[in-house]
Amino acid sequence: MAAESASKSRPVHLARRLVRRLRRVAAPTSAKGVVARPKVKRSLTAVLRQWHQRIGLTAAFFVLWLGVSGTLLTRSNELGFDTARLRWDWLTAMYGLRAEAPRMGFEAAGHWMAATKENTLLDAKEVSPRLPAPVGFVSLAGPTGTQLYIGTPESLVITTMAGERIDELRPPVLPIGAVRRIGVTAAGAIVVQDFDAYESSDGGNTWTPVLPQSVTWSEPKPLPAEQRSNIEQFARPSILVEQVLIDLHSGRLFGVVGAWIITLIGVLALMLSISGVWTWWRIRQSRRKAANGG
């Protein structure tokens, strides 16, 4: 009986071995001889979800950058960024700016008036409050001694010899809307001119017309080397913090490359929005079908 059962089971074992061999031959194998699993085709939702994650990780730093700079810009006035200036050499170099002391100035009674891009200086000291770049500079005898008259495009400023402000004359006290140049007459009167010239012998209280040919006008002169050396410290360029934030936000601080990076971030943000909405909609549809027994 044992011999009969063994003889009957032998064909079954042979058949099973043959099936296993056929399966091994039919199944694809990798280079190392391991049976390769068939690839499962992923759905569009799964692909979009994977790319959504990759794009989000790539853009995260730049989105943070845009968010921080944009938030600071909206509060620029409150934080004082619209007036605060940076004088970092590496930053001004990125803008192509460098220190350059003025070569020309105005001289009166041994005093020198000059202007940098950001400061107006009297004898290498800042004039406070700040004045626009002068258009002329003269000295005249006044009630309290010699006084300095500084002409700017908008006003006529009167100071002591030490630079302390006495008065500032503007229209309508001045007979002209803008000051183009200032000078003095032989009689010691101050003169201002836009299109027409007017003189005053009482410190600017009254004005009368005068012929421009009779006036000694204040003209710019080359600054002495000592003055230029003392002024150089005020010639260091600076940049508004607000401007730096604007250029950081737009990418222009880093030139063409920076602008293109911000453009790319905008495209990535658009892709994130589309893929996010699509994934949400597909998941919502799948849950509806599952709820309805579909």
Question: Model confidence at 173, in pLDDT bands (50, 70, 90)?
Answer: very high
Q: Would the pLDDT of 2 be above 50?
A: no
What are the structure tokens assigned to 177, written together?
A: 């809307």
What's the CA gap between 132 and 121, in Å, rounded? 10
What's the CA gap between 208 and 53, in Å, rounded? 78
In the chain, DSSP assigns E strands to: 85-86, 104-108, 111-115, 120-122, 125-126, 136-142, 145-151, 156-159, 165-169, 181-185, 190-193, 197-200, 208-209, 215-217, 221-222, 239-240
Question: Model confidence at 51, in pLDDT bands (50, 70, 90)?
Answer: low
Judge whether 218 and 137 are in contact, CB under 8 Å.
yes
Question: Model confidence at 182, in pLDDT bands (50, 70, 90)?
Answer: very high
Q: What percent of the chain has pLDDT over 70?
A: 78
Q: Specify the pairing of strand 156-159 against strand 145-151.
A: antiparallel
Nearest to 87 by CA among 62, 130, 117, 65: 117
Nearest to 70 by CA among 275, 273, 269: 269
What are the structure tokens assigned to 287, written together?
A: 């849950």
Q: Would the pLDDT of 30 be above 60?
A: no
pLDDT at 289: 77
Q: Which residues contact 97 (CB under 8 A, 6 or more apart)?
A: 237, 239
* Between 157 and 46, residue with greater pLDDT: 157
pLDDT at 39: 57
175 prior amide bond cis, ω within 30: no
38 prior amide bond cis, ω within 30: no
pLDDT at 176: 94
DSSP classification of residue 163:
-
* Between 21 and 112, residue with greater pLDDT: 112
Q: Would the pLDDT of 13 be above 70?
A: no
Q: Which residues contact 159 (CB under 8 A, 6 or more apart)?
A: 122, 127, 147, 148, 150, 165, 166
Q: Would the pLDDT of 226 be above 80?
A: yes
Question: Model confidence at 83, in pLDDT bands (50, 70, 90)?
Answer: confident
What's the CA gap between 32 and 62, in Å, rounded? 43
Question: Model confidence at 71, in pLDDT bands (50, 70, 90)?
Answer: confident
pLDDT at 290: 76
pLDDT digits (tens, 9 = 90+) for 241-250: 898 888 888 7
Would you give the distance in Å from CA 165 to the centre of its chain?
35
pLDDT digits (tens, 9 = 90+) for 144-172: 788 999 999 999 999 988 888 999 999 99
